[in-house]
Amino acid sequence: MSTTYIAPPASTTESTSTLVSRLWSYCELLRHSGVSTLDYVEQLTYLLFLKMADEKVNLPDRFQRAIDRADERIVPKGKDWPSLTTRSAEALVDHYEFILEELGQRPGTMLGEVFLKAQNKIHDPATLERLIKDLIGKYRWNRTDSDIKGDAYEGLLQRGAEDRKTGAGQYFTPRPLIDAMVECVEPKLGESISDPACGTGGFLIAAYAYLVEHYEKDLHSEAGRRLQTGAITGYELVRETARLALMNMLLHGIGRAQDKPLITVQDSLAKSPIVFHDIVFANPPFGVGSVTGESYASRTDFWEASTNKQLNFLQHIVTMLKTDGRAAVVLPDNVLFEGGAGAGIRRKLLDTCNVHTLLRLPTGIFYANGVKANVLFFDKSAPRHDGRPATEQLWVYDFRTDQSFTLKQRPMRREHLDDFVKSYKSGNGDFNNRIANDRFRPYSYSELIARDKVNLDLTVLQDSTSGSGRLASPEVIAQGIVDDLTDALAEFTIVAEALKAAKRTVGSSAKDA
């Protein structure tokens, strides 16, 4: 029997941060049941995926309506969220384990890869039932007032990475930055888009949203249908992270459950690409390391051998691009100034690609503290026979100097990047004819190549203080303290509620025993 979606009462419409905090607080209950933090996040992603997939069937978003997919189910009936809500006690545990096993039986499909080797880690029936019916089931996770769905789901993934204090920086690029990068590159329907280190799929989802917004009337064309079958793809080294990316893509309307996965699990650096793309977005993982010596020997398409992972990814991205293809890549500062192989790679990049824009990012916007990063925009040029370099001017936008952001007190928002996007587009398609301003100025190829080691660590403004950036005003600092205390109080309240719930569950279990 089909499920009719009933909108929740107004009291259940909470902010994303509140819902994420409520989910996270339930960790206390699951820990009491012997579930680790890592397993807790994994189990919640399974359950949230099932709940959100059901919501999309009963309340199709405009992306689905535009391509006539309102009746397409991500999860088959009988193995979906409603089938969990009708069971209790041991029958609920048995059915949940049946769902995980059955949905993972089709490897090589989007849905099959999501649930491949999935296992239930919540063996206490009362805990699982409370989690399904009292926590997740009470709330609507796909908001009708948001163009990009799954904010709470993505927030949970971010919270998990932040809690583990490892790996977060490589998985999560701030959404305002992603959106600005996509808006600058301006994907077109019919172009192929890829990310060689896709994490949970943020760039791919944003590119898809951009295309749907700008080409909604053309989504029934052959180019529009290719959005579901291979125009948008990614690569990810870590299978668990690739699983999250596939979940994210399905929930955002990219790909079909029974089709081939749009995310490939592999070491992108291990071999030369065999498929080439019009656009590449990437935030490669930060750190030192390279492919193994054996596999690296096959990369004769690299300009220089290096143990710097980002330099290798930069070379790899160039090889992924079609002629005239466009790239926007987040890179740490060391890629701009590192000597040795770095100098050779930068020189070759300037010669063979039109490296037209460098956005210097402020600190405080990534989960990894103190990361100094940039976004490099370049287009791959056809080989020139006149010996002239492909780059004529590199325009540098200094968004770092005198800027101060933090993840909580002053997070970077999309409007903070408005001036950069305006400056980027000020030439109306002619990168060499843009309008300079206090933060935005060009450096000629001759200036760049004359710098020691072809150093691209360029600034436009001088700091107004002797530090790395302007200190926040006293009122901003004071408000930050208030915000921190308010957040802490709210989270302690939720934790207290979860502990009370855990006590009731333990009491109920003891009584039943």
471 falls within a domain: no
Question: What is the count of structural domains for the chain?
Answer: 2
- The yes-or-no verdict on residue 480 having pLDDT over 90 is no
Specify whether 29 is located in the same domain as 103: yes
- Give the distance from CA 74 to its chain's centroid: 21
Gap between the Cα atoms of 313 and 309, Å rounded: 6
Domain shared by 300 and 435, yes or no: yes
**Average pLDDT score over residue span 40-67:** 73
> Average of pLDDT values for 219-239?
90
303-353 confidence digits (pLDDT tens): 998 888 899 999 999 999 999 999 999 999 999 999 999 999 999 999 999
pLDDT at position 289 is 47
> 322: which 2 tokens?
């079609």
Dist. CA 260–CA 268, nearest whole Å: 19
Report pLDDT digits (tens) over 378-419. 999 998 888 899 999 999 999 999 888 887 778 899 999 999
Beta bridge pairs of residue 377 = 328, 357
Is the pLDDT reported for residue 39 higher than 80?
no
Query: To which H or E segment does residue 504 belong?
Result: helix 474-512
pLDDT (tens digit, 9 = 90+) per residue, 269-285?
998 999 999 999 999 98
Within this chain, do residues 401 and 502 fall inside the same structural domain, yes or no?
no
What secondary structure does DSSP assign to 325-345, as a single string? EEEEEEEETHHHH--THHHHH
Report angle CA 372, 374, 380 to the nearest 5 degrees: 150
- Does 159 map to a domain? no
The reply to whether 257 and 360 lie within a common domain is yes
Residues 195 and 275 in one domain: yes
Q: Is residue 428 part of a domain?
A: yes
Task: State which of 412, 434, 454 marks the end of a domain.
Answer: 454
**459: nearest Cα among 393, 398, 406, 411:** 398
Q: Does residue 246 share a domain with residue 178? A: yes
DSSP β-ladder status, 353-360 and 373-380: antiparallel
Residue 91: its H or E element: helix 89-103
Q: What is the pLDDT of residue 414?
A: 93
- Do residues 112 and 192 share a domain? no
Residue 38 confidence class, pLDDT cut points 50, 70, 90: low
**Do 180 and 114 have their domain in common?**
no
In this structure, is residue 129 part of a structural domain? yes
Q: What is the pLDDT of residues 85-119, one digit of tens each?
A: 999 999 999 999 999 999 999 889 999 999 999 99
Q: Kindly state whether residues 322 and 390 are assigned to the same domain.
A: yes
- DSSP structure class, residue 265: E
- Cα separations in angstroms, 41 against 99, 226, 282, 420, 426: 18, 32, 25, 36, 44
Q: Is residue 204 part of a domain?
A: yes
Q: What's the pLDDT score for residue 469?
A: 42
Cα–Cα dist 392/245, whole Å = 37
The DSSP bridge pattern shows strands 353-360 and 393-398 to be parallel
Q: Is the same domain home to 176 and 122?
A: no
- Give a yes or no: residue 269 inside a domain: yes
CATH no. for residue 209?
3.40.50.150
Q: Whole-model pTM?
A: 0.81
CATH code of 57's domain: 1.20.1260.30
- Residues 6+ positions from 454 with CB-CB distance below 8 Å: 343, 346, 347, 350, 448
Rounded-to-integer distance, Cα 441 and Cα 393, Å: 10
Q: Are residues 272 and 132 in the same domain?
A: no
Domain end residue (candidates: 454, 472, 494)? 454
Whether residue 202 is predicted with pLDDT greater than 70 in this model: the reply is yes
For the sheet with 263-265, list strands across it. Answer: 263-265, 232-236, 193-195, 277-282, 321-332, 373-380, 353-360, 393-398, 440-444
Same domain? 196 vs 88: no
The reported pLDDT for the residue numbered 368 is: 62
Supply the pLDDT for residue 78.
93
pLDDT tens, position by position, 485-511:
654 565 556 556 555 655 655 555 555
- pLDDT tier at 468 (50, 70, 90 boundaries)? very low
Two tokens, residue 208: 């898809």
DSSP β-bridge partners for residue 359: 375, 397
Report yes or no on 156 lying in a domain: no
Q: What was the pLDDT predicted at 41?
A: 72
When mean pLDDT is compared over 55-64, 112-121, 364-373, the highest value belongs to 112-121
Half-sphere exposure of 48 (CA within 13 A, CB side): 25
Task: Give me the half-sphere count of Cα atoms (radius 13 Å) on the Cβ side of residue 258.
Answer: 4
Percent of the chain with pLDDT over 70: 70
The per-residue pLDDT for 511 is: 54
> Which pLDDT score is estimated for 241?
84
Q: What is the pLDDT of residue 151?
A: 56
The answer as to whether 3 is a domain residue is no
| The pLDDT of residue 158 | 59
| Average pLDDT of span 131-135 | 86
Locate the DSSP E strands across 14-120: none
Amino acid at 342: G
Per-residue pLDDT, 11: 36
Q: Could you tell me the residue range of the domain that residue 263 belongs to?
A: 166-454
Of how many residues is the chain composed?
513
Indicate if the alpha-carbon torsion angle 153, 157, 159, 160 is positive or negative. Answer: positive
What CA–CA distance (Å, rounded) separates 230 from 19? 33
Among residues 192, 184, 204, the alpha carbon closest in space to that of 322 is found at: 192
Q: Per-residue confidence at 477, pLDDT binned at 50, 70, 90?
A: low
E strands, 113-201, in order:
193-195
